[in-house]
Structure 1
Amino acid sequence: MTNRILYIVVCGAPLASRTADGVKAARANGWDPYVIPTEAAMPWLADQDLRDVPVITGNRTPDQPKRTPPADAVAVVPMTFNTLNAWANGNANTYPLTTLCAALGSRTRTAAIPFAKHDLAGHPAWLASLAVLRYAGVTIVDPQNGSRSSIEPIASGTGNEVASAFHWEWVFASLEHR
C-alpha cells in the first residue's frame, strides 16, 4: 500500500477493456487504485481479472459506511460523451458522476481521457463540456497520442485499435504534471 489513493472511473467504451492494465500501471506508479465503473462499463469489465482491486458499484445505503478513502487523484478512463456532458453540467445522479462532481468541488487532481467518435464529438456540447472541465482544472488527454493540447475524435470502427495502442503512462504523467 502506498497511501496515494486513485479512483479510476470507467465508462462504457473500448478503452474500458484496458482497465486491468490501468490497475497494474497505477500500482507500478505508486497508487492504490479503486475502480468505479458506470453501468455501461460493466460489460467491458466482465472478462478482466479485477479480483485484487476494489470495484465500487452503485450507491451505498444509509446504514453502510463509506467504501473508499478520500482520493488523492481521479482518472476517467475512458470518458464517454454522456459522462463528459453530465459531469460538466453537474449531474450527480449515479455514483460515478457523484464521484466526479465531488472531485471537481474538492479540486482533486483529475485526468480524463475522452473517447467519442466524430459524430458525437461534432455535437456542440462536446467542445463546451471539454472547456468547462478544463476551466475547472481537469487535464484532458487524447487517447490516441497522449496530447494535452488537442483532442481528436476516434475514427469510427477504430476504437479497439486505439484502445490497444493506449499508454496508461499518459494518465500518470498528467496526474503528476498538475
Structure 2
Amino acid sequence: MTTLYLFASAAPPVFDVTRVIQDAQARGFDVCLGLTPSATEWLADDLEALATLTGHPVRSRYKRPGEQDAWPPAEVIAFAPLTFNSLNAWAQGLTTSFVVGVVAEGVGKGIPMVAMPCVNAAFAAHPQLDRSVAELRAMGVAVLYGEGGFVPNQPGQGRPGEYPWGLVLDAAEHLTGKPAR
C-alpha cells in the first residue's frame, strides 16, 4: 500500500471526506487524514469514525518533540479542498497550522503533492490567488485549478457535491506511478 496523506481545509466538500477516503483505500492507498483547525471543528462529530476508517488518528496538531509519529511516512500528499487561506499560507511559507506546515516541509523533502483549491469567484479575483497557485506550481506541486481542475463558482452558489474529488485521487495515483482509473 502507498501512504497518502489526505489534508483538508474547511470548505463544504470536506463533508464528503468519508467517501473520498473509501475511494482512496479502494485504489490501494493507506490514508492518513489531516485537517486544518476549522475543518476539525466542522467534522468534530465524525473524528472517531474517521480514525477507525483510516486506522490512524486524525491529526490537526503537531506531535510533541520526542513523541513517536503516529503515521507512517508520506509517499504522496493530497490537499483538498484547499481554501484561499491555506493555499496562500502554503505558498508564502506561513506554517500556522499542522497541515500547512507538513506540506511546506514536504516541498523540501521532495514528497509528491497534489492540491485542488476550493474558492469562489470573489476569492479567485484577488491577485494573490494566481500568484500563490503559480508559486506552488513552481515548487513542483500539481495544482488542479482552472481548466482540468476546480473552477470557481459565484459566491453563495457553491456545488460541493460536484467538487471533482476523483481528479485529486487520479493525480495522486499518477504521482506515485500507479495507473489512474
Which bin holds the TM-score, normalised by the shorter protein?
Answer: 0.7 to 0.9
Query: Hey, what's the Cα distance between the residues in 2 that align with 1:47 and 1:155?
Result: 29
3-state SS in 1 of match to 2:53? coil
Cα deviation 1:43-81 (Å, max 9, x = unaligned): 332344413222112121124112221111111110000
| TM-score, reference length from structure 2 | 0.86
Which residue is equivalent to 1:57?
Answer: 60
Cα deviation 1:92-148 (Å, max 9, x = unaligned): 2321111111221122111111011111111111000000111111112249x8x14
2:39 to 38, 41, 57: 41
- Pairwise CA RMSD of aligned residues? 1.8
**AA aligned opposite 2:170:** A
Query: Hey, what's the Cα distance between the residues in 2 that align with 1:169 and 1:120?
Result: 23
Q: How many residues align?
A: 170
Partners of 1:117 and 1:155 within 8 A in 2: yes
Cα deviation 1:17-48 (Å, max 9, x = unaligned): 11111110110111000000000112332344
Partners of 2:37 and 2:97 within 8 A in 1: no
Map 1:1-178; keep pairs closer than 5 Å.
2=1, 4-48=2-46, 49-50=49-50, 51-53=52-54, 54=56, 55-142=58-145, 147-148=148-149, 152-159=151-158, 161=159, 163-178=160-175
Partners of 1:14 and 1:44 within 8 A in 2: no
The unaligned stretches of length 5 or more in structure 2 are: 176-181
**AA aligned opposite 2:39:** A
Post-superposition offset of 1:158: 2.7
Cα deviation 1:132-178 (Å, max 9, x = unaligned): 111111112249x8x14xx532322232x2x2123432112212334
**AA aligned opposite 1:52:** L
Partners of 2:60 and 2:97 within 8 A in 1: no
Richer in helix (by share): 2
| TM-score, reference length from structure 1 | 0.87
3-state SS in 1 of match to 2:81? strand
3-state SS in 2 of match to 1:112? strand
Query: Hey, what's the Cα distance between the residues in 2 that align with 1:77 and 1:19?
Result: 10
Which residue is equivalent to 2:179?
Answer: none
3-state SS in 2 of match to 1:52? helix
3-state SS in 1 of match to 2:63? coil
